[in-house]
Amino acid sequence: MTVQQRATLEDVARLAGVSSKTVSRVFAQRELVAPQTVDRVLSAAKRLRFRPNSLAQGLRRGGSRTVGFIIGELSNPFYYKVAAGIEKELSAHGFSLVVATTDDTEEGEGRVADALLAQRVGALLLIPVGDDQSYLEGERQLGTPIIAIDRPARNLAADSIVLDNRVAVLEATRRLTALGHRRIAYVCNPASVWTQSERLAGYRQAMSEAGMDSAPWEMLGDDLTIPPRELVQRLWQQDVAPTAIIAGNNRVTIGALRALQARDDQQTALIGFDDFDTGDVLGVSVISYDPLELGRRAATLAIERIGDPSGFVRQIVLPTWIIERGTGERPPVD
C-alpha cells in the first residue's frame, strides 16, 4: 500500500493564503475569524484531507499510541469479547484502546470514525455497519492502518480478520441432513450483512447437495426492530413446519429457544451460530469460535501496520467448530 504525506497546518495556510495562526484559530475558536476566511480555510483543509490533531502528540505520521475500535453496541457479547482480545494484545505492546459505538447505523459509523480520526489514533479497527467504507480511503492513503473485523470493509483497500462463515454453516447443515432432516430452516436478521450472506451461501450449498429446495425454509429479516422470537415463530405459520433450525447469530438462537419453549417443543433440532454464556446450561448446540483470538489477531495486524503500512492488503480467515450439546443432534420425528 502506498502512503501519502499527511498534510500539515502550514500546508493548509499556504493553500488558503492565510497565516498558520489563522488556520489554528479556525479549528480552535472559529467564532473569532471572519466567515469568508473560515470558508477558505475549511475548503483548503478538505482539499488536502487535513485533520486537526486534537491530541497534538503521537507517533510518526501524526499518529498516537491509542487505537480506536468501532462497534455496533455494547450489549452484544460478541463485541465486548472481541474488544477484550484487542485490548489485551495492545496493552502488551504499550498501546491503549478507545471503543466507540455506532448504534448499528451507517451514520453512526461515519460520525465516530471522524471523531476517532480527529484524535489521530494510531490505527482504526472497526466492525463495518454499512455497505460503503470508501469515506476512509483518504485516511488509509495517508498511512492510518484500518482493520475490518468480522466482515470486510466495502470499497476500501483495508486488511480484514473474518471467520470461515460459509464452511461453518455448510458443515452444520450437512450434519442435519445426515441425521435425516429434510425441512431445515435458516433464520437470520439482518440478512444483508456480509457475514449472513456467506452463511446463507453455505446453507444453500448443503441443501442443494442434499437435493432440497432451501427457498421455503429461509426466514430472512432486515429489520432489527423485529424480535428474533417473532421471526422464528413465522416458520410455524407455513403449511408444513421445519424439523430443524439453524440460527444465524446468537440473538436469533435465543429467540428460537424462546419460540420453541412457548410451543413446549423439544423435538425440533437447533444449531446456533455464536456461543453464548448460558448455551452450555441450556444444552444448545452451536457453531463456535474464539472471539478473543479474533480481537488479538486484529490488534497484532494493526501493530504491524503501524510499524510498516506498506504491503499487500491481507485477509485472515479464522476457523470455527461445532459444539454438540443436544439440540443439534435431534433426529426428525416424521
Q: What is the pLDDT along the chain (334 residues), one digit of tens a residue?
A: 555 667 788 888 889 998 887 887 787 667 778 888 989 999 988 888 887 764 443 443 444 789 999 998 877 888 989 999 999 999 998 889 999 999 888 889 999 999 999 888 989 999 998 889 999 998 888 888 999 999 999 999 999 999 999 999 999 999 999 999 999 999 998 888 899 999 999 999 999 999 999 999 999 988 878 889 999 999 999 899 999 999 999 999 999 999 999 999 999 999 999 998 899 999 999 999 999 999 999 999 999 998 888 788 999 999 999 999 999 999 998 7
For residues 169 and 209, is the Cβ–Cβ distance under 8 A? no
The Cα 21–Cα 6 span in angstroms is: 19
What is the location of CATH 1.10.260.40 in the chain? 1-47
pTM for this one?
A: 0.78
Which residues does residue 316 pair with via DSSP β-bridges, in sequence order?
161
Architecture of domain 165-289: 3-Layer(aba) Sandwich (3.40)
Choosing among 3.40.50.720, 3.40.50.2300, 3.50.50.60, 3.40.50.300, the CATH entry for 64-163+290-318 is: 3.40.50.2300
Cell 473560515 sits on residue: 38
Q: Which three cell numbers stand for residue 252?
A: 436469533
In the chain, CATH 3.40.50.2300 covers: 64-163+290-318, 165-289
Three-class secondary structure assignment of the chain: CCCCCCCCHHHHHHHHCCCHHHHHHHHHCHHHCCHHHHHHHHHHHHHHCCCCCCCCCCCHHHCCCEEEEEECCCCCHHHHHHHHHHHHHHHHCCCEEEEEECCCCHHHHHHHHHHHHHCCCCEEEECCCCCCCHHHHHHHHCCCCEEEECCCCCCCCCEEEEECHHHHHHHHHHHHHHCCCCCEEEEECCCCCHHHHHHHHHHHHHHHHCCCCCHHHEEECCCCCCCHHHHHHHHHHCCCCCCEEEECCHHHHHHHHHHHHHCCCCCCEEEEECCCCCHHHHCCEEEECCHHHHHHHHHHHHHHHHHCCCCCCCEEEECCEEECCCHHHCCCCC
State the fold for domain 1-47. Answer: 434 Repressor (Amino-terminal Domain) (1.10.260)
